[in-house]
A and B are shown apart, each in its own frame.
Chain A
Amino acid sequence: MTEITFTINGTPRTLDVPPMKRLLDVLREDLHLTGTKEGCGEGECGACAVLLDGNLVNSCLVPALQVNGSRLCTIEGVSTEGRLHPIQQCFLERGGAQCGICTPGMILATHHLLDKHPSPTLEQIQEGLAGNLCRCTGYMRIFESVQEAAKLGTS
C-alpha cells in the first residue's frame, strides 16, 4: 500500500492504496464516486474518462500512484450546488443521453473539447469524442448537444 494525496472535485484527499490500483477503482471503490463507469477496461470506450490536471484521461489506464499530487475532476464535480452544468443541461434537452453509461465520459470529453475549442467544427467534435462510444442514442444527438453547449459559451 502507498499513501497518495490528490484533490478530487476541489476537495483534498489522502488514501492508502495499492500503487497499481486503477484510478477508476480508486474512484468507485475507495471514494464511492460511481458516476465514473467502466466499459471496456482497455482505454477504447471512454466510459471511465475523467479530467486529470485538466486533461482528459481514461481512468482505467492510470495507476493510482501517478495521480499523487494531482487535481482530478469527475462527473460528480461538474455540476455546482445541485445545478446541472450547461453541458449536462444540453445533453438532457437535446437527447444526448439515453442509458447513461457513456454519458459521464461524454460530458467530460465535451468539457475538455470546449476548453480547447470553444466553437468547435463538427469535425473537431467528432475527433474530440472519437474515444467515447455510445451504443444507444447514437452520435447525432450527442453532436447536437455539444453544438448547443458551445453556442451557450459554456466550459
Chain B
Amino acid sequence: MRSDVAQFNLSAPPSLDAVLAQLAAEPGKHTPIAGGTELMVALNTGRLTQHSLVSIHQLKELRFIRAEQDAIHIGSGATFTDIRRSAEIAADLPLLIESASWTGTIANQNRATLGGNICNASPAADTPPALLAYGASITLISASATAGKIATRTLPYTEFHLAYKKTVLRPEELVHSVSVPRNFSGYRQYIRKVGTRNALAISKIALAALAKLDGDALADIRLGAASLTDRPVRCSAAEAALLGKSVGPKAMDATVRAARAALASETHTIDDIRSTAKYRSAVAGNLLEEFLRSLAV
C-alpha cells in the first residue's frame, strides 16, 4: 500500500552548514535522504516511518572524489556512477569499482550514493566488503557549538556497523567521507558476489579479499564479507588463521581446511528470503577457498 505523500515533509537546505544546523536543532526528527533509491522504495510500499526528511543530494560539499598520495577520499554524496568513472579508483581500488558495478542498474547508480549504501547498513550491501578489506576509515560530521565550525570524528570503518541496520551514526551526524588507503601494489585482490543472477540481485553472499605473499607465505591477508552475519564484517578469525600460512602446493590443502574452519567459526549466517544459513556458510567457504587456490605459487 503506497503512502500518502502529503503526510511527508522534505526540505532541501542549500548548504552543508544549513543541513547540519537543522539536524542539530531537532536531533532524530529529520532523516537525511540522498539519491532516494532506498527511502523512496520504502515510501512507495508504505514502509517509510520517518515523516520529515532533509535532502542532502544537492550538497556539492559531499560530492567529491579526491585522490591523495596515500588514500582516496570519497565524499558520501559521490554516486556509484561517480565511483565507476574515477580513473584513480579504477587503478588502485578495483574491488570497489567491481562492487559499485553490482549495485542496482545504471539508473540507480546515477542516483545512489556511497554514503547512502553505508548508512542504510544492510548486511547485504555491495560496497562494504571491499571497504572493509581495504581498511577504510570513515569521517562523520555534525554542527559544532563554535559558530562556523563543523565537528568531525574519524574512525576505522570496521567500527561503524554495530548490529543489524545499526551504526554508530548519531541522529545529528552525517557521513562526510570514506577514506580508502590506495597503496596495494604487490597485493592480490579478489571479489565475488553470489546472487540469484547478475543484474539487480541482492547478494546471498559476497567476499572481498586482499593478500600479500612473502615467498609462499601469507604476509598479509584481509577479508571483508557481506551477508555472513547481521552486518558487513571483517573476517578476523579467518585472517588470524591464515596469517603466515603457506599457499605452496604441499601446504595448500591444510591451509584451505584451516581457513574454512575459522571462517565457519565466525559465520553467524541468517536464513532469509534470499538464502539459507547453510547455503551461505558453505558458499562463503567456497569463495575463500577459490581465492586461496588462486594464490598458488
On A, residues with C-beta under 8 Å from B are 2, 18-22, 25, 41-44, 46, 49, 55-58, 60-63, 65-66, 68, 109, 112-113, 127-128, 130-132
Contacts and interface: CB of A to CB of B under 8 A. Distances in A.
Interface in B63-83: 81
B218 to A, nearest CB: 35
Contacts of A66: 12, 36, 55, 57-58
A57 B110 contact: yes
Interface centre among B8, B9, B11, B108 (most CB of A within 10 A): B108
B8 A18 contact: yes
A41 B36 CA distance: 13
Nearest to A56: B107
Given A109-B106, A131-B107, A43 B41 contact: yes
Contacts of B200: 44, 130-131
Interface centre among B6, B45, B58, B106 (most CB of A within 10 A): B106
A57 B41 contact: no
Interface in B1-45: 2, 5-6, 8-12, 33, 35-37, 40-41, 43-45
From DSSP, what is the main secondary structure of chain A's interface residues?
mixed
A20 B55 CA distance: 10
A49 B108 CA distance: 10
A132 B37 CA distance: 16
B44 A42 contact: yes
Nearest to A1: B6
Contact of A57 (B12, B111, B199): B111
Given A20-B43, A63-B55, A131-B200, A43 B12 contact: no
Contacts of A44: 105, 200
Contacts of B248: none
B105 A130 contact: yes
Contact of A41 (B35, B37, B44): B44
B106 A127 contact: yes
Closest 7 CB pairs of A and B: A131-B105, A19-B10, A130-B199, A20-B8, A61-B40, A55-B110, A41-B44
B107 A43 contact: yes
Contacts of A68: 12
18 contacts: A2-B10, A18-B6, A18-B8, A19-B9, A20-B8, A20-B9, A22-B40, A22-B44, A41-B41, A43-B104, A55-B81, A56-B107, A60-B44, A61-B111, A63-B40, A109-B106, A127-B106, A131-B108
A46 B10 contact: no
A118 to B, nearest CB: 16
Contacts of B10: 2, 19-20, 63, 65
